A and B are shown apart, each in its own frame.
Chain A
Amino acid sequence: MLHVENLTKVYAPGESGGGIRATSFHVTAGEFYTLLGPSGCGKTTTLRSVAGLEEPSSGRMTLEDRVIFDSSTGVFVPANQRRLGMVFQSYAVWPHMSVFDNTAFPLRMSRGKRWSNTEIRQRVTHTLETMGLAAFADRSAAQLSGGQQQRLALARALVAEPRLLLLDEPLSNLDALLREQMRSELRRLQKDVGVTAVYVTHDQSEALALSDRIAVMHNGRIAQIGTPQQIYHQPGNAFVATFVGRSNLLRGALLERDKDGNARIATALGPVLCRAPTVTTGLAPGAALIRPEHIVLTAIAGTGDASLNRFRGRVSQVAFLGEATECVVQVGNVEILVRGPAGQYGGSEAVDVFFPPERTLAIAVDEL
């Protein structure tokens, strides 16, 4: 559907110049594809390049087998000929038009088909109904609430049945409650309409909840591509591991790796046994990654000698979060974040910390 190859957009020379570098990804039809990354990593730049609002420095893009950008042949299809739908971060709902006119605009501008007024009316009304905005059709767009504006922006993006829907942090302007509502709404609509979507966000929980696939971006490059499960459970590198979800990262040298995909890493706490499905043996510096919710805390087992992946520590901070409790356990001079069921510990008890080997992952450490 959408193929992006080696897309590069430099604003200023040098690695710190912003923009994106040699980004490649493929979006298949009907997919909800998310670009996830911290602020300034180049998500918006990528999306705008796809939209045609930004002219990349080099690379190639095809949409439904048609080349929309190719630096080697000088092809650049302008934004208004790409037949896409886009929802802007600020919504960019035109305040001087009514809700109806906003939605009808893409039809009135349509190049291929000439829409008659009755067709436009039917089409717009139908789209507004889908979005739950039918009652507001004649209202000025400036009089809508934030959530309504967002739905209007979506209606406008979808009304002409675009080949691809682009969304740039559409939920970031909403308050927390509405954001959750709109999130599931968005997902449902996308599946109902059956449109392919590329979604940009810096919110990892949003990305995990919505996406079929996620491309995690870092410093203008793609760090990892995968399903939400893959990204969360098998982060390809330390950046992805720490950016998506909370994690404890114990750095150290990779000691050995057996044929079953288990490895031992020499961390500051001592050797830690973990799974290593992706890491090659040659890779010396690595880290053991364990999510806070996978750590098992137990009261001190009498003997005191540390068995496999079991370390002795002392609870140093406890934070009650409602549905769970998070505590920091001091093991030697390393702080380990542990998340568990509420009300287990009060503070400053001596505890045993256990990293279940099947839930501990060896990952490569690159630039972290």
Chain B
Amino acid sequence: MIGRISPPVVILLVLLCAAIVPPFVFLSYSSLHYLDASGAFGAFTFEHFAAIFSSRTFGPMLLNSLVYALGSALLALFIGAAQAWLAERTDASFRQILYVASIVSLGIPYVLYIVAWLLFLGKAGPFNASLQYLFGGTTPYINVYSLGGMIFVEGLLWSPLAFLLLSPVFRNSDASFEEAASVCGAGLLSTLRYVTFRMARPALLALGFLVFIKASESFEVPALVGLPGSTRVLTTAIYQKLTLDIPPDVGSASAFGVMLLVVMAILLQIYSRVAAQTHRYQTVTGKGFRPRVVRLGRWRYAAGALIVTIPFIVVVVPLATILWAALLPYYQPFSMKALPLLGVGNFVQVLNSPSFRGAIVNSLVLGAAAATLVTVLSAIAGWCVARRVAGSRLIDTLAALPLVFPAIVLGLAFLEIFVHGGARIYGSLLSLVVVSVVAYMPYGLRYAQLGVIQIHPELEEAAAIAGARQTGTFFRVVLPLLVPALISCWLFVFLLAVRAVSLLLLLVGPDSQIVAVTLFDFWNNGQIGELAALGCVWTAIMTVFSVAFLIVARRYQLPIA
């Protein structure tokens, strides 16, 4: 058996094991041991877990996590599904806007997006101010630093991806199912209710579950929106154990991490079941298939208005808020009085500062390096998995394992490895690249696998019959055909790698500042002007990448996420 596994597969397996096993080991080890004053491991103990379960805040925290994740999933699903249906199945006006807005939003760093909403919805923000103006009173009408605020921001954050993932579902469904309902006497609403959305239900369920998982492991919104209002969830508990306690309570943090891992493993297991059902109702659409749109008639312009409103809320409002903040020397809510103060001072400062320029360069290098490594590894691994080479199941399992790590927990695990393993690379840009590669490998692999599946095996067999060896076939036949999938894989991983703060927050050092973490620090220090200016510059750069991603994905008809 072993003998039949080819050398590249062995190398791949060794690499994957080396990257993935240590985080598990270190995390569980430190959750079960005391740390002595020098930071070395002490005696074995269950105390970290015992302390968590006996704590009185644990129950409410779990409940918060659940409500938050569920609420976000429902909101994202609702917005995403409405957009996807309007864009794919109706003749509503302005449908293209939805794609552009969603893609642009993929390039906005989480922190920037959240901060924008905090400024907009905050006590002194324009939203509360308008309500006060309209309905009187001086107290704020809404408090964004609440569970509701968290759900709102996280839900909006995921809605573009929900839209991008759902639109193929609506695009590929056979219109004759709906036409049949129509001939049977069903009106538009009944058809939507009993046929369209009912048939999309497996896909909706799977996507909702995915957002639920993503929200349960998310860190940015809980940290920026939840913590100021003392709404704590599991991920922020880890962060607080490490940053509030002196010395950092690594043991408790790890224990939390292990628990989250278990939860994630269960959720992902369920998810894979749910996701397997997604195509249940997507019957083969052969002859007579025509993509047909619902004519909305006089509702067309109403739907068009909705289509303009959603991206306006999801993208334009936050970006405008950030731009406003970036142009002001010190932050104040929107008002006519403030207009004369506008200037580009923050931009000048950000672009002149070597450390900010360094953060931008570091981020770009990090994204590019991680994306390149992930793409190369995924191309090989994806081919092995899709073609069921010996040992490929193991590759598949190993490469998917990092998914069970919430980003903050993976960051914690690597922190422990770097500290205890005495690794010199702690705090270096290289360490960030390694961690990112591990974290984003599952996404890259999925992309490459889809790409390979589109290549008919006979093309390779033809090469083999023409006398090419397996490696020759891979480089001369598979790789060139895989290029579009790999380009979009690269761009997707790039966008992911530079966007989030949670994975690398615990790992950056003085020489490896990156934009996402810098933005996070700015917010904690109250430097809103610099934050907004750096965020604007960065979003502009990212838009180039995300639009490139859209173009490649469109051109080669690849799934967008």
Contact = CB atoms under 8 A, between A and B. Distances in A.
Contacts of B181: 94, 105, 109
Interface stretch (B246-254, B284-292, B446-454, B463-471): B284-292
Given A89-B287, A90-B176, A96 B199 contact: yes
B190 A173 contact: no
A96 B198 CA distance: 8
B288 A89 contact: yes
Contacts of B198: 96
Contact size range, A: 35 or more
Contact of B199 (A51, A52, A94, A169): A94
Interface residues of B, number: 28
B185 A88 contact: no
A79 B179 contact: yes
A95 B184 contact: no
A53 B199 contact: no
Contacts of B180: 86, 88, 92-94, 156
B184 A106 contact: yes
B194 interface: yes
B283 interface: yes
Interface string A165-177: 0101100110000
Nearest to A86: B183
Interface in A266-307: none
Nearest to B199: A96
A285 to B, nearest CB: 37
B158 to A, nearest CB: 26
A160 B185 contact: yes
Contacts of A90: 174, 176, 283, 285-289
Interface string B161-190: 000000000000010110111111111001
Contact of B186 (A80, A85, A86, A142): A80
A93 B190 CA distance: 16
Contact of B174 (A53, A92, A96, A105): A92
A166 to B, nearest CB: 8
A172 B287 contact: yes
A85 to B, nearest CB: 7
B487 interface: no
Interface in A72-123: 78-86, 88-90, 92-96, 105-106, 109-111
> DSSP majority for the A interface?
loop
Contact of B185 (A80, A92, A169): A80
B183 A53 contact: yes
B195 interface: yes
B281 interface: yes
B554 interface: no
Contact of A95 (B186, B283, B292): B283
Interface in B295-317: 295
Nearest to B287: A89
Interface in A39-62: 44, 51-53, 55
A94 B177 contact: yes
Q: Which of A53, A55, A168 has the most chain B CB within a 10 Å cutoff?
A: A53
Contacts of B177: 92, 94
Contacts of B283: 90, 95, 142
A152 B194 CA distance: 18
A97 to B, nearest CB: 8
A4 B105 CA distance: 52
B280 interface: yes
Contact of A109 (B185, B280, B289, B292): B185
A272 to B, nearest CB: 41
B288 A169 contact: yes
Nearest to B290: A44
A96 B289 CA distance: 19
B241 interface: no
Contact of B184 (A55, A105, A168, A173): A105
Nearest to B201: A96
A99 B220 CA distance: 48
Given A88-B179, A90-B288, A96-B281, 15 more contacts: A52-B183, A79-B182, A85-B183, A88-B180, A88-B288, A89-B288, A90-B286, A92-B180, A93-B180, A96-B198, A105-B186, A109-B184, A109-B185, A169-B287, A173-B286
Pairs A-B, 7 closest by C-beta atoms = A89-B288, A109-B185, A92-B180, A106-B184, A92-B176, A86-B183, A79-B182
21 contacts: A51-B179, A51-B183, A53-B183, A55-B295, A78-B182, A80-B187, A81-B185, A82-B183, A83-B185, A84-B183, A86-B183, A89-B287, A94-B180, A95-B280, A95-B281, A96-B201, A96-B281, A109-B190, A156-B184, A157-B183, A173-B286
Interface of A: 44, 51-53, 55, 78-86, 88-90, 92-96, 105-106, 109-111, 142, 156-157, 160, 166, 168-169, 172-173
